[in-house]
Structure 1
Amino acid sequence: MSDLQHAKAILGDLIAFPSISAESNLDIITYCARHLEAAGARVEILRDPSGKKANLWATLGAEGDGGLVLSGHSDVVPVADQNWRTDPFEMQEEDGRLYGRGACDMKGFIACCLTKAEDLARIAGQHPIHFAFTHDEEVGCLGARALTDTLAQRNLRPRLCIIGEPTEMQVIEGNKGCCEYSVTFSGLEGHSSAPERGVNAVEYAARYIARLLELRQHLVTRAPAQSRFDPPWTTLNVGRLQGGVAHNVIANHAVLDWEFRPITSDDMHFVKSEVASHVDTLLAEMRQTHPQASILTETIGEVAGLEPMPENEARDLVFGLTGHNEAACVPFSTEAGLFQALGTDVVICGPGSIAQAHKPDEFVSLDQMQSCLTMFDRLISDRP
């Protein structure tokens, strides 16, 4: 069986695991662990506090610092309310494309990693090769945050990391961060004929939103002169506002979901500081009428972006493996910034297109899978 046929078979198995973020990923992690153990890797399954989710950390070669991480997330987005032509959890091949939920985002890369694990074992030696397969990337990079925290606690700092997000095997050296929040406003209900006697949670949520929109405009002016992102500034989005019960009742409850995607750590700190200051102002007003009023913020996820660096050994390695000599930046978020925070050189490169991710009839092409396998073949042949 050729490597491509092997990778295709593994991808079919991976797609068959309905590892939607809301569900357990233990079955797919166990499957990956068995493949890596068979290749000679030392494998750890690191469960989250619930016991229903887990990261996989596996190593070929020497223990300790250094080495190369091959990283991918095991979870996928839901298929509910999407019009798929076929069962999204049963891989279909058609016209050189492999269809199924997670085909490109990002089980295609994981399938290539598992396919080449035995060959990679032969070249690991004193320069270890690690596999990091995480949970809950799609809902705030929760697994990668836990994994990188564990590595930091163990004083383990991988030297290089390839994040296999779908880039059509193009080299990506920067991505925006992603900060997501749910904010709950609790006020005081009452009859709408006397609005001054209540605290309207929806109105205060609207004032909160108004400040977010002011910040969104200001962030445009903060775009670095040489920014390579599209758009070149930090973006901000109001996703959902829900509250109130009727036309003539002062709303005592509202929930707001919003996010922003910073291009620099300075922008991340700026937005958080400005919002916190505005919350203090709103809350002081609310409590003049109702001392028990509250504004509670739940942080869904805060992930810094991957900041392009003048010196990046991982980028230069993948240049040599793919034949590319230019690197780009992308607006979507990945786990790369968490590994960069460890002091690891990080690059993003993987099979498939982000344009297919999260959509019905998601696919990865066989050509893209072969390109990824070829990248690993060159890594194997080039490693002393």
Structure 2
Amino acid sequence: MRIATILCLLLAFLPGTAAAQIARTEWREVFSPDGTIQRVKLTRTPADAPAPRSVIAAADVVPIEVNGPSESRFDLVFVGDGYTSGQFTTYGQHVRSKFAEIMAIEPFRSHRTQFNVWQVNVASPQSGVDNDPYGVNRNTAMDMGFYCGGIQRLLCVNETKAQQYAAQAPDVDQVLALGNSTTYGGAGGRVATASGGNAQSGQVAIHELGHSIGGLADEYEGGNRYTGGEPREPNVSIYSRETMRQYRLKWHAWLGQATPDGGVIDTYEGGYYYRYGVYRPSQNSIMRTLGRQFNLPGREAMIAAFYRETGLIDAASGASTTLWVRPVSSRVTTTWTVDGHYAGQGNALHVPSLRLAKGTHTVTATVTDNTPWVRDPALKRGSLTDTRTWSIGG
């Protein structure tokens, strides 16, 4: 669970704090039906108030897909607002639909087994969300509503409550709040929101996971000229194509390559909320417009981030006759060495078949994902490689 989420929950539960009285100013992403994205500044008054503990404890957690222990998986937690207790079947259908939409796009599709998905059933007194239609307010568990900040499609939620309910799941890496509505809408932020009953709104979650998992920057434009230093995000840069190639910077390894979102990887001016002075890798990825694919540098960053969260090995053990590892994914390759010499591949090693000389020997299992979607040598050595070592004999 992220530190910011933990601090938020602690503050919410402390009596006598000003958590519910202090307004906050924050940036939110607004998503249009045509896929375009803009960033707006909102002042929330009052700030989000917490839910009572007794209400939170009543929320049920339903496992949607569990592929392994939470400590070695990326846990997506769905919370729903505006669903009455009699509408949990509908809510479950919405959760599965959004999860299917996420997993239909790469690199999620190829790395599905690295995710766990949880559905938290939160009963609302009334069905629906505020301002759907405009001017109609409803009594719901997490205060979701359209026209947030006066913007029609901006669907806001009480993030404090959403995170409290999500914390009922075994672990939380990303919270996705679904509103009981068929109207297109959503929002980015600490909690991504989307209309549960709208077929397009799952794209909001995919874009937001680009931020929260891959650390990707937005590639759409906003202000005039960027004058700052080199951004830390892997998919925006102040460097031209020639400089990248010469000094092997950012996405230099992908320059000229055809990219899943169309065209080739290059340095296209505009992104990071600026029109000039900063470059993005492709013309139109999902970090710029919904409904698109991740570009190659974005896909690379996402895969590396998956493995940083999950590792490559779920478990490993050794007996007198057999050593074994259990990888997190069938996409990886396990190579065995004995005293630094190749001894085979596969997830198990039969020790007697090695016919080792007497004495102590070092056996190492190296688990690697050799995907062509990652070219950065540092990521290959770090995030995409893991080892286990045993000392046998004696």
TM-score (norm 1): 0.23
When you count helix as a share of all residues, which structure comes out higher?
Answer: 1
Bigger relative contact order (CA 8 A; separation at least 6)? 1
TM-score by length of 2: 0.23
